[in-house]
Structure formats: structure tokens, C-alpha cells
């Protein structure tokens, strides 16, 4: 004779049935069964934690108490059938009432919460707008995802359908929501907070490793100061514009300033000054102006240039080691 406790558990149990598609024997694989039952278990445990945290928000030990409650209400298999693989599961309600607060007047029962889970989650119509609004008003997007996503994953295998029901109630097929409703079950993506970048000018003591410096060669930073704008030095050894690449004999010393919301790069030797709104744009402008000087002066015949222009031509040529075309 079966115990009254087992009879009661079967009365409140949630039946989960796998119905393999295209399998004549209607036999579910072990991995299929594990996937489905694990999904239901995860969904229920998440629901438990969320429901209890909402009921008792002011309890300082809520995390400990909730985890303890969840551990004591593990889902049990109270009946099983091998026709299309069918399990009936129910929480451990042996003691019926689990007080979250010892002798406190505030308590909840595992059976009560399991009933809520079946009504609000299992029998929830994920394609009904009014029902979705009710879920939205009660649970956050993160909570909805925690509760429903394990169920959706459990029923995502195209080789079988998953049906759930209690007693004589209507059988429900676990399905994913339509595309337009899936947003209700997805937590918003965390927006990466962009960390503000600053530029520093510093002097460092480094190991003698030639011209190459990396973080491992830096032994000490002896002085540094923050730059209000990107006015760090501009001393190019190579200049690029279009198909031309200018390799210089040595670094080209330039002055960089920021005034009136504009960046300026100046080379006094070439009487060359450019400006732009950003550091990147002003460097491109300098490259273009250098290219223009090369085309209009350095490549021009002397008899077509003034004496002053010839001096500028010679200055340009004295700076260039080689010119390449891409």
C-alpha cells in the first residue's frame, strides 16, 4: 500500500512527457531526458529564489535562507511511465511548512510556491500579449530570462516535443515565444561603460635595450603630467599620402598646439602650418601639405622656380632619404 505522502505528491505533481518525433518506438534517449528534466529543475529553482526574495525583501540573511529553502525542496520523481517517456515531479513537502525565519510568523510552503510555479510559469501563454504584460509587471527582464530560458532550451530539440500538465488539467506543449515576443524573455545587454582616456607626458628610466621600449623595459617613471589635449610631440620619420611614402633622413621636429578648439602642427623650417578639429585630422593635413610641397617644388625644374622657391625645394630634398610608391 502506498504511503499517503506519496499519494499526495502525485496529486500535486507536474508531469513532464517527452514525445520523440519520427521514432517508431517512442523511446527517448538518456541525454534527451536529462536535458529536459535539468531544464525544468533549473527553471523551478530560479523561480523559487526569485519568489522568496520578493516575499521577504527585508531579511538580512535572505540569500542564505533562500539557498537553504531551495536545497530542502528538491524536486522528486514521484511517478514514471515509459510510454513516450513520462515523469511526474514534485518538491519535497514532507514537512509541509518550511519557515524561512525559524519561529517567525512569516513563512511559506514549498507546495504553495510549486502551485504558483505551475500557474504562473508552466501554464503561462508566452504568445499572449496580456499574459506577457502581467509577467512584465511582476518580474524583471533578467528574472523572466532566468525562469523561462531553461524551459525554452529544454524544448528546443527538434527530435521531440515536450508536454507538461498537472492531474486532469490541460496538457501544455512547451514552446518558444514568437519572434516578436522573444524580447520579453531576454535581459538587456549590459552596456559597456567606456572609460575616459587621458594622455600623459612622462619621463622614464628604462633598461638599455636599444630604441625599442616596452612595459617590461620601464624601470621607473621619474616624472609625468597629464595633457589637457592631445598635444604630444609630432616627430614623424615616415610620411604617407596617397600612393607616396616619404622616408625621412631623421625625425622631423614639429610644434603641436591646441587653440580655439583646433589642433595646429607647425614646422618652422618649411614654413608649414596646418590645423584641424582633431589630432588625427591635423596629422593627415600635415602629410598632405608635405606631399604638395614635394610635388610643386621638389619635383619642379629650377628654371621654373623663384630663388626663394628653389631654397624651399632644397630644404625638402635635404629631408628626404627615399620616396616610394605603393
Same domain, 305 and 223: no
Same domain, 80 and 128: yes
Residues 75-97 have a mean pLDDT of: 74
Position 140 in a domain: yes
Which of 177, 204, 228 delimits the end of a domain?
A: 228
Position 191 in a domain: no
Q: What is the pLDDT of residue 105?
A: 44
- The Cα-based distances of 36 to 14, 17, 81, 144, 160 in angstroms read 13, 9, 15, 19, 10
Buried/exposed 184-220: b ≥16 CB within 10 Å, e otherwise: bbeeeeeeeeeeeeeeeeeeeeeeeeeeeeeeeeeee
Q: What is the pLDDT of residue 249?
A: 95
37-51, 189-203, 279-293: the lowest-pLDDT one = 189-203
Q: How far apart are CA 240 and CA 246, in angstroms?
A: 6
Same domain, 180 and 41: yes
Q: How far apart are CA 301 and CA 282, in angstroms?
A: 30
Same domain, 125 and 171: yes
Position 190 in a domain: no
Position 264 in a domain: yes
Number of domains the chain contains: 3
Same domain, 72 and 93: yes
Q: Which residues contact 144 (CB under 8 A, 6 or more apart)?
A: 135, 136, 184, 185
Same domain, 156 and 214: no
Tell me: pLDDT of 293 over 50: yes
Position 29 in a domain: yes
Residues 142-150 have a mean pLDDT of: 93
Considering only residues 282 and 194, tell me which one the structure prediction assigns the higher pLDDT.
282
Same domain, 129 and 210: no
Position 106 in a domain: yes
Which of 185, 218, 242 delimits the end of a domain?
A: 185
Contact at 8 Å (CB) between 27 and 127? no
Same domain, 207 and 265: no
Most confident of 55-69, 108-122, 158-172, 253-267: 253-267
Position 298 in a domain: yes
Position 238 in a domain: yes
Q: How far apart are CA 254 and CA 10, in angstroms?
A: 85
Same domain, 281 and 173: no
Q: What is the pLDDT of residue 97?
A: 44
Determine the structural domain holding residue 292 and report its residue range: 233-325
Q: Which residues contact 132 (CB under 8 A, 6 or more apart)?
A: 126, 177, 181, 184
Same domain, 303 and 215: no
> Kind of pairing, strands 97-98 and 108-109?
antiparallel
Tell me: pLDDT of 279 over 80: yes
Same domain, 174 and 283: no
Residues 282-289 have a mean pLDDT of: 94
Same domain, 36 and 158: yes
Q: What is the pLDDT of residue 291?
A: 93
Question: Would the pTM of this model clear 0.75, i.e. be above it?
Answer: no
Residues 187-191 have a mean pLDDT of: 74
DSSP annotation of 234 = B
Amino acid at each position: 500500500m502506498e504511503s499517503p505522502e506519496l499519494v499526495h505528491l502525485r496529486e500535486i505533481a507536474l508531469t513532464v512527457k517527452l514525445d520523440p518525433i519520427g521514432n517508431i518506438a517512442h523511446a527517448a534517449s538518456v541525454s534527451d531526458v536529462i536535458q529536459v528534466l535539468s531544464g525544468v529543475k533549473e527553471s523551478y529553482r530560479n523561480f523559487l529564489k526569485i519568489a522568496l526574495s520578493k516575499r521577504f525583501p527585508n531579511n538580512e540573511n535572505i540569500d542564505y535562507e533562500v539557498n537553504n529553502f531551495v536545497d530542502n525542496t528538491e524536486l522528486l520523481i514521484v511517478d514514471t511511465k515509459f510510454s513516450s517517456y513520462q515523469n511526474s515531479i514534485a518538491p519535497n513537502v514532507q514537512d509541509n511548512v518550511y519557515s524561512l525565519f525559524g519561529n517567525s510568523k512569516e513563512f511559506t510552503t514549498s507546495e504553495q510556491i510549486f502551485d504558483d510555479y505551475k500557474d504562473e510559469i508552466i501554464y503561462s501563454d508566452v504568445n499572449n500579449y496580456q499574459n506577457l504584460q502581467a509577467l512584465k509587471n511582476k518580474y524583471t527582464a533578467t528574472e523572466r530570462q532566468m525562469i523561462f530560458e531553461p524551459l525554452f532550451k529544454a524544448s528546443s530539440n527538434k527530435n521531440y516535443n515536450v508536454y507538461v500538465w498537472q492531474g486532469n488539467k490541460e496538457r501544455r506543449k512547451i514552446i518558444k515565444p514568437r519572434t516578436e515576443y522573444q524580447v520579453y524573455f531576454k535581459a538587456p545587454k549590459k552596456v559597456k561603460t567606456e572609460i575616459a582616456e587621458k594622455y600623459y607626458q612622462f619621463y622614464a628610466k628604462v633598461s638599455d635595450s636599444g630604441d625599442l621600449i616596452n612595459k617590461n623595459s620601464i624601470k621607473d617613471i621619474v616624472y609625468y603630467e597629464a595633457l589637457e589635449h592631445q598635444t604630444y610631440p609630432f616627430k614623424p620619420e615616415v610620411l604617407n599620402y596617397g600612393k607616396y611614402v616619404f622616408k625621412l633622413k631623421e625625425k622631423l621636429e614639429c610644434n603641436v598646439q591646441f587653440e580655439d578648439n583646433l589642433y595646429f602642427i607647425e614646422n618652422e623650417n618649411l614654413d608649414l602650418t596646418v590645423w584641424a578639429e582633431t589630432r588625427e585630422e591635423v596629422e593627415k593635413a600635415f602629410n598632405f601639405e608635405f606631399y604638395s610641397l614635394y610635388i610643386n617644388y621638389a619635383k619642379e625644374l629650377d628654371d621654373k622656380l623663384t630663388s626663394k622657391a628653389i631654397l624651399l625645394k632644397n630644404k625638402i630634398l635635404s629631408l628626404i632619404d627615399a620616396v616610394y610608391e605603393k
